[in-house]
Structure 1
């Protein structure tokens, strides 16, 4: 039987989508198969929140199963045949979903033009009939602290009196200045946990894309990233250019008649200079600049939206001020902001316990990725990213900061980095930007590097040139304690990333070599593969070291280490130089770590398949249950991980370097933004040290 939680409010404007998204994130951290059910939906197209959840969490649930019925149909049914008939129909449709999933997130009604009487009572009854715990949300926008406290208290009392199992109350969109006072007051008044989320202007700001859709605007210039920018303010052009430029604000959408070429070019030039960065330009009166002006605009600020509407500026202003940002599948940055807000202000561990959320016995790729992000936040670390002008790195940095995963340092020419940030429309105000060529640290790092490499003939003059390289500068920041870890490789070779680490940070005490692992996230478990990226042909001693390091890395990331030393034969069935190497390495591992479960030589099938293991190595504590698979050489390891990744649809996280005194990790040059986010989270966890 599945479990469920019912998220509902008491009226409109509570920004409940932030809570819905946060709860879904919490559920998918612990449960493999989560379903979604919205009892009532509007009949004006696909439900944007379900589409967001389905896209973000890769739900396989068909949209048709996620909905009970439309509001109009529900109102008619209730009027003609009564509430009992409506509830009975919705309960039946809910159970069709609950039979298919371990846990169901129920999204309550939205109180928006629903024509349903006693809507709060209907939500309460549905929660009871579904057997769901209830999470109540109240809105605090434009309310005093006293009003929010009263609203939260009334919501709890109302649902409790109707027999609901209220697990928590969340006050959302509260004035940031009053958040702590409201939190303290509610903690002493309510018998259940109460969490207070402050208003975040970026969540209520519409994106340029949402403005285009709402106004039916025509996009003249701009790319997908530009259309995703938040319009945090509106500046209406009418003054002469010097006065107009002084009125520009960060993230503003410029609204001007289409024949004001001076204001169009002036605002885009200001954006290109970063003073300030604008969301885009909206042209009114159905006027369009000539081709020469448009060509100049595209060169000044590539990707920045320029859109056109036929209406006049005044009525357009009225429509703009009525818009509010919405979470949907087309606004991933808002989703990251919402999740960061939820995680900062909600005790997710306590809420997990309150809704009786038992962790699934399976570990899916998404669950593993969620666990990494949770762990990375436990003790905040600072990670340096040397490739500060690379688009994927900047987009990943935006996600890392929105999710509150770690502090960041970006390396590169400051003007170039800021221009790229402006062009991409990402928010990196909380990141530190350092130019190795002009930084005061360059002198200090040159002296340090010259001492470290004096035995190789490196003098201070040569060192001064070397440390201006972003990879060397970033590595020295880690060595000197100015950053806790480094991630690079999106635009640099593996050698360029790890050579400075070998020279400066060097191997950890007790480690013979630096090696690597991949976390292979299969459909139902996570395996650790080593070494698939660094050492071409390790000898027996090095192979044993790789095994010990890989087991320690596995334990650090919550994978119980059971080590399989792989070969083309199992047990005593084969002989030869390659098999003997693995047999010797296995013996060394047992001497180095007598507490570690290890088996070898063993073939891959016997290591991971219980049926094969029973035939080939009956009674082994590792065979058929191995979690750490150590390959005899790089050729075997690299090809195997790629074969499993492609043929089994596994998510490969890595390579994660091990054996260094401080964490430095390499990216594939084909790394996507999520890959970079995950690698930075891993690096932050490595910098924390210790096991979970």
Structure 2
């Protein structure tokens, strides 16, 4: 049985795309069959290429949207009085792509002065597609009485409260900054938005219309962080010349300051994410900004006006600061004209801004009513493949439930500090940063990060003595005395490992600056392997566009024998199950079945037989070539009787050389997110990071460490 949900905007500028992609993400996390359809493309001013909502969902979700109809074609058919024919074509296109056991999210048109027919067409499309109706409304500064009146009018237009098709309303941009005329402020000066107003939210929840049967299905707060553009977006908007490119593609802007004062009166504006706008001949401000950058403050960018290039001597003096990644751009307009141009900046998220799109999706999805979202999944089919979004949802949701304490020995490392703040804020874990509190707070301030009460900071000197006796007891047979133990505990990774060994924390994550050996060696010596494990191995979770694969072992064991390879297969299958993936394990080799011979193939064949005998409840098959394991048509041809071939989601490689090379080739060739390596076989969870890990990588590693601790 399919479900069809059509989102109908109530008024203009309701943020319909935000709600659409949020609902798609919320449903995608439920691992169900899903589709998206915007029947008529409605490009904004300056848009080129694909329709925005369709493009975002196509590129950032595991959903293949149905192509919309071109707006010009639609308007021509309406003006020629061929609306019935248009509706027939819309139905035909939708039914040709919609599975009978899937949920479809349908996005309506926004009524504007250029598209006055949108309201009528939305009604006709909703009836033609037999869709349930969800209204999307922005409360603005309106009085609750006026908001209720607006909703009553639109409900009546769709059949009134007795209509079984009208199911609810989603409020968007709640508590957004509005001016005295009730207009949403879209200039960059409001990136630092007002705090959440619970009184306003409560008034919306208590509107009389909700007592009549209309359901409030979501309350999406305005979030200033989601409005932060990249420096490159501003450069494109202003057609600016780049003086120093720096990290222009990744630096985000959270405030704007115009340098119209003496420098001692504006030092407080030199903060992370700040766009500093100045006349190009203000060398004093330029140097001050560079000093701030040298001190570790990640300013957003410098924007020079008037066409004035900075003096060459000053540029040479500031060269080291520019090498920190500080973007510097130049425009020919004066400061006043530049301010007017910035005011006209379109803050809609660009289709290529993956990081911001992901945050918008998550924020909108989490703001929807969970019971309603869950109700949409009833009597529809589940996806056979676990999508990346469903995997991330499982990861974060499960981590919140277990609420574990995870120690981070690299406590003053900037990415680690930012990840700890995110984990605490989202309730994914109770992070413990090891390091000097003043230093950690300084790093946080430079990153624009606020460390709330959920982040614990532990000074190494304050706790080292607590673990001396325990370390001596564990390693005394290796010659570790009190003196040696105190020396070893100077290393924060060893100290954190002892905290884990003694049960003071539940897991450990390190590796942002330490090598894999530095992270794993203390764990092997102090934590040791689990009782039922013969070795420690690892897996990577490979987040492909439409599913999640598990790769093992790609980080630890150089050349495992057959018994060890069987253990790695069982450990990897168990890890897959732990994270909601029903394992189908392929033992990878350079030949499939009995087609090849040689010691390497025999090792894989023997490992497969051992694993099958040890765990007959698991689907394990091999040897299989990668294509036979991954591609259904090849699997049917090369291993027609295999229950794994062509359907594998856990890939066990014969040695480290093969595994590590394959995972990196797949990751880099397709620009995939890879979570791991996650260590398997330890008594307690210890996980290593790549030294190139992003903040999100660390966040997910902390989350999976918490889940491991619970299992």
Q: Normalising by structure 1, report the TM-score.
A: 0.78
1:444 and 2:466 aligned: yes
Contact 1:518 1:530 (8 Å CA) reproduced: yes
Aligned to 1:126: 125
Task: Tell me the CA shift for residue 196 of structure 1.
Answer: 1.0
For 1:531 and 1:79, how far apart are their aligned partners in 2?
Answer: 63
Task: Tell me the CA shift for residue 551 of structure 1.
Answer: 4.0
Q: Name the SS for the 2:40 alignment partner.
A: strand
Residue of structure 1 aligned with 2:381, choices 342, 358, 370: 358
For 1:19 and 1:402, how far apart are their aligned partners in 2?
Answer: 23
Contact 1:452 1:504 (8 Å CA) reproduced: yes
Aligned to 1:177: 197
Stretch deviating more after TM superposition (213-222 or 496-505):
213-222
Contact 1:37 1:97 (8 Å CA) reproduced: no
Matches within 5 A, 1:50-61: 50-57=54-61
Residue of structure 1 aligned with 2:221, choices 198, 203, 209: 198
Task: Tell me the CA shift for residue 41 of structure 1.
Answer: 1.7
Matches within 5 A, 1:101-500: 104-117=104-117, 119-143=118-142, 155-156=154-155, 158-161=157-160, 165-175=165-175, 176-178=196-198, 180-182=201-203, 184-185=205-206, 188=211, 190-225=213-248, 228-232=251-255, 234-246=256-268, 251-273=273-295, 278-300=299-321, 302-323=324-345, 325-348=347-370, 350-354=372-376, 358-364=381-387, 367-386=390-409, 406=429, 408=431, 429=451, 440-446=462-468, 448-479=470-501, 483-489=505-511, 491-500=513-522
For 1:481 and 1:148, how far apart are their aligned partners in 2?
Answer: 54
Change (3 A) 1:628 1:326: closer
Contact 2:248 2:327 (8 Å CA) reproduced: no
Q: Name the SS for the 1:230 alignment partner.
A: coil
Q: Name the SS for the 1:121 alignment partner.
A: helix
Residue of structure 2 aligned with 1:513, choices 520, 535, 541: 535
For 1:640 and 1:227, how far apart are their aligned partners in 2?
Answer: 28
Q: Name the SS for the 2:111 alignment partner.
A: coil
Q: Unpaired segments of 5 or more residues in structure 1? A: none
Task: Tell me the CA shift for residue 138 of structure 1.
Answer: 1.0
For 1:442 and 1:182, how far apart are their aligned partners in 2?
Answer: 53
Q: What's the CA shift string for 1:622-643, capped at 9, x where partnerless?
A: 8998776767766776678789
Change (3 A) 1:218 1:649: closer
For 1:428 and 1:542, how far apart are their aligned partners in 2?
Answer: 45
Report the aligned-residue RMSD: 5.0
Change (3 A) 1:334 1:509: same
Aligned to 1:684: 706
Matches within 5 A, 1:44-55: 44-46=46-48, 47-55=51-59
Q: Name the SS for the 2:349 alignment partner.
A: coil
Contact 1:31 1:359 (8 Å CA) reproduced: yes
Task: Tell me the CA shift for residue 58 of structure 1.
Answer: 6.8
Task: Tell me the CA shift for residue 419 of structure 1.
Answer: 8.0
For 2:497 and 2:536, how far apart are their aligned partners in 1?
Answer: 15
Q: Name the SS for the 1:66 alignment partner.
A: coil
For 1:289 and 1:617, how far apart are their aligned partners in 2?
Answer: 68
For 2:456 and 2:607, how far apart are their aligned partners in 1?
Answer: 48
For 2:694 and 2:389, how far apart are their aligned partners in 1?
Answer: 16
Contact 2:412 2:435 (8 Å CA) reproduced: yes
For 2:677 and 2:264, how far apart are their aligned partners in 1?
Answer: 52
Task: Tell me the CA shift for residue 229 of structure 1.
Answer: 0.7
For 1:540 and 1:654, how far apart are their aligned partners in 2?
Answer: 24
Stretch deviating more after TM superposition (490-499 or 376-385):
376-385
Change (3 A) 1:328 1:476: farther
Contact 1:135 1:168 (8 Å CA) reproduced: yes
Q: What's the CA shift string for 1:84-125, capped at 9, x where partnerless?
A: 4554554455556548996654332233443314x3332232
Change (3 A) 1:211 1:492: same
Q: Name the SS for the 2:329 alignment partner.
A: strand
Q: Unpaired segments of 5 or more residues in structure 2? A: 176-195
Stretch deviating more after TM superposition (558-567 or 299-308):
558-567
Contact 2:566 2:608 (8 Å CA) reproduced: yes
Q: Name the SS for the 1:475 alignment partner.
A: helix
For 1:332 and 1:614, how far apart are their aligned partners in 2?
Answer: 37
Aligned to 1:67: 68
For 2:599 and 2:300, how far apart are their aligned partners in 1?
Answer: 66
Q: What's the CA shift string for 1:358-381, capped at 9, x where partnerless?
A: 322334556545543444444444
Q: Name the SS for the 2:38 alignment partner.
A: strand
How many residue pairs were aligned? 677
Contact 1:528 1:554 (8 Å CA) reproduced: yes
Task: Tell me the CA shift for residue 168 of structure 1.
Answer: 3.8
Contact 2:675 2:700 (8 Å CA) reproduced: yes
For 2:98 and 2:604, how far apart are their aligned partners in 1?
Answer: 53
Contact 1:16 1:137 (8 Å CA) reproduced: yes
Aligned to 1:21: 21
For 1:398 and 1:328, how far apart are their aligned partners in 2?
Answer: 27
Task: Tell me the CA shift for residue 657 of structure 1.
Answer: 1.5
Contact 1:75 1:116 (8 Å CA) reproduced: no
Change (3 A) 1:441 1:682: same
Change (3 A) 1:609 1:116: closer
For 1:613 and 1:53, how far apart are their aligned partners in 2?
Answer: 30
